[in-house]
Amino acid sequence: MGEAVEPDPHSELRSFLREQIELAPSRRPPAYEAVKAVLPEIKKLKAKGKTDDAVRELFERKGTKLSLGTFRQYVRNAVKEAKGELVKRTRRKDEAKPKDKGTPARSARSSDTAEQGRRPGPTAGRTTADLRVAPRDGALMGKEATSHRLSDDNL
């Protein structure tokens, strides 16, 4: 005889989600698509003396909210696209290219500054031993041995 088939534990959830898909309203097209679709009308309104802000307000009355700068950018890009020119679209943050983390940052060295055409700074060529000041008795002690700060006693 055949084995008993176990019912799908997610069948109820699946059917509920399918119902929700049917009931969900469809999304309106993005604002840029709306601007592209009505570009001839926008051009005619502007030719009749309407300002960009007045046309933008008409969009807002129909539920498409845009700032004036964004509206102008969309119109400019739609005109370029209609002419067949390449439109440079900026990427959203989640689509941005990942930075190359494999290359370590270069440290500043005196040879680097010479390669870049700059003069080396006043400490170029010196070692830390040259910069160290020994106390009067000749031995480095306490703070002077471990710190970069010097007091009047060290001068």
Q: How far is CA 4 from CA 8, 14, 18, in A?
A: 12, 22, 27
Domain range annotation of the chain: 27-83
Q: Which of 56, 74, 53 is nearest to 64 (CA)?
A: 56
Of 85-89, 132-136, 139-143, 146-150, which has the strongest mean pLDDT? Answer: 85-89
The one-character DSSP state at 69 is H
Tens of pLDDT, residue by residue over 70-92, are: 999 999 999 999 998 887 766 66
